[in-house]
Amino acid sequence: MAEIIDMPKLSDTMTVGTLVKWNAKEGDALKFGDIVCEVETDKATMEVQHTAADGVLLKRYAPDGAQLPVGQPIYAVGKAGEPAPEIGAAPSAAAPTPSEPTKTAFGEQSAIAMAAPIPESNPVPCIPQGGAVASLTADGRIKASPLAKKIAEEKGVDLSAVSGTGPGGRIVKSDVLSAEGKPAAKPSVAATAALAPVFSGAGIQEDKVLPVSTMRAVIARRLLESKTTVPHFYLEIEVDAKPLADLRESLNSKLAELSPEQGGIKFTVNDLILRATAEALRRVPVVNNAWNGDTIKQNGSVQLAFGVAIEDGLVTPVIRDAQAKSLRQIATEAKELIGKARKKKLTPNEMSGSTFTVTNLGMFGISGFFGIINMPNAAILSVGATFKKPVVNERNEIVVGHRMSIGLSVDHRVVDGADGAKFLQALKEILETPTLMLV
């Protein structure tokens, strides 16, 4: 007898999921553990495994992009040729709507949801560097299935040089496998001409109404809630970044070329800032607290979140107990979390429960800014780029200085101005004497 499989509850707070992609089609044989589809929840994009009896996928009850509440039928499985049960009209694709604040084992969800796939209407042809014709979505991204992207990354295939044979020019698994090992063709004269700018008066992109992804809806709700309910105040300090740069250069010159087995590692500026932040919070722990309605939660450990920009938004993975970890441990963990974030493999637990957040836009040349507090944190640190500028040294000489601007957005219900200033002073001392973070 045919069995109907419902939308599973993929996280402790999930009420609705967006069916991102089907991995199996009607008529396919299903065995226990097969990946049937991918579903975007309020926290991540997750794979749905077949956990019922082996059989044939008789019917899919929802199209790609459909929003389905937990418990809604998504597919039927049974014997080949067996009729599928009817459940009424199938759900249609719809834009997500913001949900109520979520809760986790660590408290209110403080991380932003994983990125949703970009709508793939109106593909735009382009001539990539290799001369093959690929297809882009309306916002300029290459159209490729998640499996094709994964295989391309593993095999080192440049998707911009692959022609898609899937619907609407979408790059699929077979396209990547066919392109593996083939040298990129030189662009033809026609391709080169197609790349030349055309001043036709056309707009920069198509006029259209875009659906709001689950991640973007969560970002919108969380930031609006933070900005309208948390009384922010802002502090800024300028740091001499030369000692930090010198330490990083010294460490990397000795360690970056070694193998991991020999202790090799390459530190980023952000690694050093994360370690310094954890140490500064040890010195001024009140900044690590959180507003909790009619009480203030005093957090004994530093659960340090940091922003990672991904497709269609931002996620904030968390380094647990950062105050107890060395620079090497923080750098290693941060690298692993960044890699998982960009592959959409972060778990909900890895994105929740933070007590303090660091966001860094220095790599984009931003001189300084103030982030919106990542609730329920009491503060967020905003790090700008290092710039050369004239400064007056201790001998009253004008010299070239390397300066970094650091901003702190603070919840005034929890932290007063003096405590915020003490935290920035401690951070400045550590960054300007960076060997302090190594002991």
- What are 37's two structure tokens? 């589809």
Task: Give the residue among 115, 118, 122, 117 at the shortest CA–CA distance from 167.
Answer: 122
279 to each of 43, 99, 183, 288, 324, how far by Cα in Å? 29, 36, 50, 12, 9
Calpha distance 38→7 (Å, rounded): 11
Q: Which residues pair with 401 in a beta bridge?
A: 389
Q: How many CA atoms lie within 13 A of 144 on its CB side?
A: 24
CA 242 to chain CA centroid, Å, is 30
pLDDT at 107: 39
CATH 3.30.559.10 positions along the chain are 231-438
pLDDT at 300: 96
Segment holding 175, helix H or strand E: helix 173-179
CATH 2.40.50.100 positions along the chain are 3-94
Identify the burial level of 121 via C-beta atoms within 10 angstroms of its C-beta, where 0-12 means exposed, 13-18 middle and 19 or more buried.
exposed
Contacts of 153 (CB under 8 A, 6+ apart): none
Calpha distance 282→302 (Å, rounded): 8
Calpha distance 372→230 (Å, rounded): 10
**Spelled out in words, what is the top-level CATH class assigned to the domain 231-438?**
alpha beta
Contacts of 249 (CB under 8 A, 6+ apart): none
Of the listed 50, 232, 402, 412, which one is catalytic? 412
Contacts of 180 (CB under 8 A, 6+ apart): 155, 157
User: Residues 290, 301: contact at Cβ < 8 Å?
Assistant: no
User: Residues 315, 308: contact at Cβ < 8 Å?
Assistant: yes
Identify the burial level of 240 via C-beta atoms within 10 angstroms of its C-beta, where 0-12 means exposed, 13-18 middle and 19 or more buried.
middle
Active site residue 402: no
Task: Give the residue among 124, 114, 176, 165 at the shortest CA–CA distance from 313.
Answer: 114
pTM: 0.63
Contacts of 38 (CB under 8 A, 6+ apart): 19, 20, 21, 23, 45, 46, 47, 48, 146
pLDDT at 404: 97
Calpha distance 259→264 (Å, rounded): 5
User: Residues 91, 68: contact at Cβ < 8 Å?
Assistant: yes
The yes or no reply on domain 124-195 and CATH 1.10.490.10 is no
Q: Which residues pair with 48 in a beta bridge?
A: 37
- Domain 3-94 fold is OB fold (Dihydrolipoamide Acetyltransferase, E2P) (2.40.50)
Calpha distance 354→343 (Å, rounded): 21
- What are 297's two structure tokens? 């939660």
Torsion of CA 189, 191, 194, 197, to 10 degrees: -80
- What are 308's two structure tokens? 């990672």
pLDDT at 296: 97
User: Residues 330, 272: contact at Cβ < 8 Å?
Assistant: no
CATH 4.10.320.10 positions along the chain are 124-195
Residue pLDDT tens, the chain, 439 long:
788 999 988 876 678 888 889 999 999 999 988 999 988 876 677 888 898 889 999 999 999 888 889 889 999 999 998 998 888 654 544 444 444 444 433 333 333 333 333 333 344 444 444 444 455 654 456 777 777 787 888 888 888 788 887 756 778 778 888 887 666 555 555 545 555 565 677 888 889 998 888 778 888 999 999 999 999 999 999 999 999 999 999 999 999 888 888 889 999 999 999 999 999 999 999 999 999 999 999 999 999 999 999 877 889 999 999 999 999 999 999 999 999 998 888 888 999 999 999 999 999 999 999 999 999 999 999 999 999 999 999 999 999 999 999 999 999 999 999 999 999 999 999 999 999 888 7
Q: φ and ψ at 286, to 5 degrees?
A: -60, -25
Long-range contacts of 240-244 (CB under 8 A, 24+ apart): 240/401, 240/402, 240/403, 240/431, 240/432, 241/386, 241/402, 241/403, 241/404, 241/431, 242/401, 242/402, 243/431, 243/432, 243/433, 243/434, 244/269, 244/272, 244/404, 244/431, 244/432, 244/434
Check the CA dihedral 128-133-134-137 and report its sign: positive
Distance from first CA to last CA of the chain, Å, rounded?
66
